[in-house]
A = this chain, B = another copy of it.
Amino acid sequence: MYRPLDVDTIIDYVREHPMAAEHVNTDGEFESVEVGDGNLNLVFKVFDRTSERSLLLKQALPYVRAAGEDWPLSPERAAFEARALEIEHRYAPGLVPEPYWFDEVLMLNAMENLGDHKVIRFPMMEAKRYRDLGATIGDFLARTLYATSDFALDAADKREIMQGFFNVELCRITEDLVFTEPYLPDAPRNRWNPRIDDDVADFQADDQLKAEAAKLKYRFMNFGQALIHGDLHTGSIMANDHDVRVIDPEFAFFGPMGFDVGAFVGNLFLSAASHEIHSRDPDRRLDYRRYLLGEARAAWTTFEDGFRGRLAEVSSPSWGSRAFQDDFMHSVLQDTAGFAGCKMLRRIVGFAHVADLDSIEDLDERARAERIAIRIGRELVSSHARIASFDDVLRIAGDALEVSHG
């Protein structure tokens, strides 16, 4: 029967689980710690001191942890995560934690404990750099999105996988929180810094912006290109100095590829906007901004090159032409720009914010960073269907960041 575990019961659970012996000494001396810092789940690390080995166990709760028990959410999302992690691990081994087992009663995923990796959002607030961050994410995206697209999968196989990803409840969270509520003046879950009231009122009155956001929402809901991660912000990436991993694919479903690329790129731009405050020294600020925009470019370039390289090997005559492939990559690029913009705006005006900005205690300073992010986000959403190259995306971000300090 489903029951939430705690730091004590998780140890008994591991001792008794038939799969655990492959990964730890189940007669060992265990220590456990609860490390969940996300919005939705319990996350335990269990260390076996006798073998120096460990496990990570992630259990879905039946409600949104960040909102409390009055926002119920089916723990079945752990099953979506299990299925997605298995597929990601198959096509991008080494870029996600290795999955060990899924417990469909407790709605719990056991997986590789990544050791000294940290969620990158927080160190990046202190201008931390990760080797090959953008390239690794671009590679992850090229591998997973290509492998689950019509270019790699037979239509019957794609449909069969798709049947495991009717992730309605979590898709609805995205539809509501990313695409709908930020554009509504009276959505009760919205919150924002009171210093940007005028900016928010202005963008919520922008009919052209709202129509473009609606188009992107419709595309999110209808364009089942590939199995996307669905939540690929910098809180879903862990890294140490030599290794980058993508975690938390519980929002996975068949959607538009650009949603994943855009989530990553948009979060780098949010970080860059926040460094207008975090990095007081102008040289260091400019330097880190260049790093972030460079990683955004590396992500796109590696994704595009990787995807094109795979497309070049495709056997179906339909997808073989250069004109088709160019048009395809161009449409993913435009989606990337639009979704990046949506993902930025929702972090400033919607329910779920990012620590990059919310950690800025002075509200006027925070507003200065937020206005830059709003400007980038609005421009990306409004003009996404006119984007011709990734340089256009970087120019939009660069221009808004330049204005801030001249």
Contacts and interface: CB of A to CB of B under 8 A. Distances in A.
Contacts of A163: 163, 166
Nearest to A318: B214
Interface in A296-337: 316-319, 321, 323-324, 327-328
Q: How many copies of this kind of chain does the complex include?
A: 2
Contacts of A211: 321, 323-324, 327
Contact of A155 (B171, B318, B324): B171
Contacts of A225: 222
Contacts of A203: none
B317 A184 contact: yes
A348 to B, nearest CB: 19
Contacts of A156: 168-169, 172
8 contacts: A150-B221, A155-B172, A156-B168, A156-B169, A180-B317, A211-B327, A214-B319, A218-B318
A208 interface: yes
Interface of A: 150, 155-156, 159-160, 162-163, 166, 168-169, 171-172, 175, 179-180, 183-184, 207-208, 210-211, 213-215, 217-218, 221-225, 316-319, 321, 323-324, 327-328
A317 B186 CA distance: 12
Given A180-B318, A211-B327, 20 more contacts: A155-B168, A155-B171, A155-B175, A162-B166, A163-B163, A180-B317, A184-B317, A207-B321, A210-B321, A210-B323, A211-B321, A211-B324, A214-B318, A215-B324, A218-B318, A218-B319, A218-B328, A222-B223, A222-B224, A223-B223
Contacts of A323: 207-208, 210-211
A169 B155 CA distance: 9
B218 A183 contact: no
Nearest to A326: B211
A160 B166 CA distance: 8
A388 to B, nearest CB: 16
B218 A150 contact: yes
Given A150-B222, A222-B224, A214 B168 contact: no
A171 B160 CA distance: 14
A183 B163 CA distance: 32
A214 to B, nearest CB: 4
Contacts of A328: 215, 218
